[in-house]
Amino acid sequence: MKKTYLIIAISIVLVEGCYTAPPYPPSSHVAVGVGYPGVNIGINFSMYPDLVLIPGYPVYYDPRVDFNYFFYDGLYWVFQGDNWYASSWYNGPWGRVDYYDVPAYVLRIPVRYYRQPPPYFRGWRADAPPRWGDHWGRDWEQRRSGWDRWDRGSAPAPAPLPTYQRNYSGDRYPRAVEQQHTIRSENYRYQPREPVTQQHFKPSVQQGQQRQQDQQRQQDQQRQQDQQRQQSQRQQDQQRQQDQQTKQEQQRQQQQNQQQDLERKRAQPEAQEQDQKRKATQQELNRKKKATQEELDRRKKEEDVRDRYRQ
């Protein structure tokens, strides 16, 4: 029994160790809460974060905060509340990124580098990425097929950290997106490789135009899907109508056949009776004819006998 308890205790320790991040002293220059002006997800650094490159990955993380904070391809990334958020500045404002659009290298971050792993990470390998397909479902797994297969030797070089942002903290931190873009374009020459980063790096006017184009494209796709659904519905209605007509025709034919069978069954006794009458009549005629012939033959014999006597 003691041996069993020891095995269970060791298993629990090992499971706990599957997702525990490397030990670092907590940072004192970040506040986490809800409702900070201009901070969409409640993260507010008092100064530029301490980012460390994850070995073998083009991704940085902050080991001294108690939330999941990363940097990749020119954007800061936060995983919070089962959602991914991104910003080109370390303190936001943040924009939610659909989990279909999260870059593969962000998805590949090993479990151990999540400083605040969600409960469903428990039991997963610490040196492997989260099993997103198990959590987000088959549709996501199919659309993001291959996200967890890559050649580490072909990984891109990590994007340079935008350290110019060290000069902007507290009251000097730019909250307006246009101001952030202007400062970034003057100090950060990195050209992103990921579409989602390229979208964030566009000026607000281009972003607005892109959003309009995306909305128009979505509307066109929705309209096309609606038309396809309507066409499919019409085809289904036509098919149902044809099936119903075919079924009705089959029912009419079946009823007609049943009626004919019934009439034939009714007609059979009458036909048999008439046939019997015809046979009886014919037999009577034959009998009478035979009797007549016999009578004629008898008379003829009698006449022949009388004729012989006369002679």
pLDDT score for 300: 83
- Per-residue pLDDT of the chain (311 residues), as tens digits, is 444 444 444 444 343 444 444 444 444 344 333 333 344 688 889 999 999 999 999 999 999 999 999 999 999 999 999 999 999 999 989 999 999 999 999 999 999 999 999 999 999 999 999 999 999 999 999 999 999 998 888 889 999 999 999 999 999 999 888 899 999 999 999 999 999 888 888 764 445 455 566 677 888 888 888 888 898 898 998 998 898 898 898 988 888 888 888 877 777 777 777 878 888 888 888 888 888 888 888 888 888 778 778 77
Is position 201 within any domain?
no
Q: How far is CA 311 from CA 43, 298, 300, 304, 306, in A?
A: 159, 20, 17, 11, 9
Taking alpha carbons only, the member of 8, 17, 108, 18 closest to residue 58 is 108
pLDDT score for 124: 96
Tokens in use for 68? 């999941």
Q: Taking the model in full, what pTM does it have?
A: 0.58
Task: List, as own/partner pairs, every contact residues 115-122 make where C-beta atoms lie below 8 angstroms and the sequence separation is at least 24, other chains included.
Answer: 115/21, 115/61, 115/62, 115/63, 115/65, 115/66, 115/67, 115/68, 115/69, 116/66, 116/67, 116/68, 116/80, 117/19, 117/21, 117/68, 118/82, 121/18, 121/19, 122/15, 122/18, 122/19
What's the maximum distance between 2 C-alpha atoms anywhere in the chain? 172
Is position 218 within any domain?
no
Query: pLDDT tens digit string along 99-111?
Result: 999 999 999 999 9
Q: Under DSSP, is residue 305 helix (H, G, I), strand (E, B) or coil?
A: helix
Is position 116 within any domain?
yes
Is position 173 within any domain?
yes
DSSP letter string, 200-214: HHS-HHHHHHHHHHH
**Number of domains composing the chain:** 1
Is position 297 within any domain?
no
φ/ψ of 289, rounded to 5, equals -60, -40
CA 115 from chain centre, in angstroms, equals 31
Q: Which domain covers residue 184, as residue numbers?
A: 2-194
Give the C-alpha separation, 56 to 34, whole Å. 34
Is position 255 within any domain?
no
Is position 286 within any domain?
no
- Name residues whose C-beta falls within 8 Å of residue 136's C-beta, 6 or more positions apart in sequence: 99
Is position 277 within any domain?
no
Determine contact, residues 107/143, Cβ cutoff 8 Å.
Answer: no
Give the C-alpha separation, 237 to 234, whole Å. 5
pLDDT score for 209: 53
Give the C-alpha separation, 202 to 297, whole Å. 132
Taking alpha carbons only, the member of 169, 183, 213 closest to residue 88 is 183
